Amino acid sequence: MTIPNSKQLLPIYDKPLIYYPMATLMSAGIRDICIISTSADLPKFKNLFQNGKNFGVNIEYIIQPKPEGIAQAFILAEHFIGQDDVTLILGDNLFDSNKLVESLSAGLKKDGAKIFVYPVSNPGDYGVLSRDSEGVPVSIEEKPKDPKSNLAITGVYMFDSKVVAYAKTITPSARGELEITSVINLYLKNGSLSVMDLGRGAAWLDTGTPNSMHDASTYVRVIEERTGKKLGCIEEVAYENGWINSEHLSEIASNFGNNSYGIYLRSFLQ
């Protein structure tokens, strides 16, 4: 599936996959966004989002020459991050959680990092957090063969600006990548890591396989049909945030004609 196209541009029900993490960031009030991808795929993202003005955000694009790990993003985006705190979200992760959005919106209360964990039945497929008897984080392992807990580290992270320097100090893992868990471990060791459990009432879908992509599409369809509200609708988020006005939303809706997406967007104008 990903030979002709980026996975993040494949459809999850009625939208490109990347719409869902984009909507999570936008719902949290984040307007300066950097998309990192390959030289072959970036033009496709630019064609989809342009500079982001249509959605009330500012988008920069950075080429990742080789897939050398998630933590490489901080090195590539050093100029974009500057002295600011930064939130990293994976382009193939779908979240449905008001608790997460509220936490992202609140930002970091002090220097350090914040991660979000979720209980799963297959923790060995993820980075895993373990705690002591008092609930204090004690270790983080990347795809362990013998997981110490069932708490998977989800694909959204918050860091202070020190993350760039930290990313430059780590070495590639056995699979040749700069692991995000290596960076998180540095914050754990210096006592500046906080952890939030998403737990019940939240949905986290990592679309790493065809089955999980199908599951995500089914989830989105069920929720949208039952609630009448769309998940991952960045135009709706921009409008509700006051980043675009009704005239602008009407123009966007007209591009979709009379299909269900256009009808949904126009429903906010009545």
- Residue at 261 is within a domain: no
What pTM value is reported for the model? Answer: 0.95
- Residue at 250 is within a domain: no
The string of pLDDT tens digits covering residues 14-63 is 999 999 999 999 999 999 999 999 999 999 999 999 999 999 999 999 99
Tell me if 252 sits within 8 A of 54, measured CB to CB.
yes
Output b/e per residue, 185-220; b: 16+ Cβ within 10 A.
bbbbeeebbebeebeeebbbbbbeeeeebebbbebb
**Is the pLDDT reported for residue 270 higher than 90?**
no
- Residue at 205 is within a domain: yes
- Residue at 69 is within a domain: yes
The confidence score (pLDDT) of residue 135 equals 86
**Is the pLDDT reported for residue 5 higher than 80?**
yes
- Residue at 146 is within a domain: yes
Output b/e per residue, 222-233; b: 16+ Cβ within 10 A.
ebbeeeeebbbb
The confidence score (pLDDT) of residue 165 equals 98
243: region left, alpha or beta (phi > 0 left; psi from -120 to 50 alpha): alpha
Q: SS in 3 state form for 3-58? A: CCCCHHHCEECCEECCHHHHHHHHHCCCCEEEEEECCCCHHHHHHHHCCCHHHCCE
E strand or H helix at 154:
strand 151-159
**Is the pLDDT reported for residue 134 higher than 90?**
no
The string of pLDDT tens digits covering residues 11-22 is 999 999 999 999
The string of pLDDT tens digits covering residues 206-235 is 998 999 999 999 999 999 999 999 999 999
Cα-to-chain-centroid distance, residue 47:
20
What value does the CA radius of gyration of the chain take, rounded to a whole number of Å? 19
- Residue at 26 is within a domain: yes
**Is the pLDDT reported for residue 109 higher than 90?**
no
- Residue at 1 is within a domain: no
Quote the number of domains for the chain.
1
- Identify the weakest region by mean pLDDT among 164-168, 235-239, 243-247, 255-259: 255-259
8-state DSSP, 217: H
Give the CATH number of the domain where residue 203 resides: 3.90.550.10
| Position with higher pLDDT, 75 vs 4 | 75
Q: How confident is the model at residue 259 (pLDDT cuts 50, 70, 90)?
A: very high
- Residue at 268 is within a domain: no
Domain that residue 70 falls in: 7-232
CA 173 vs CA 3, 74, 105: distances in Å: 26, 17, 32
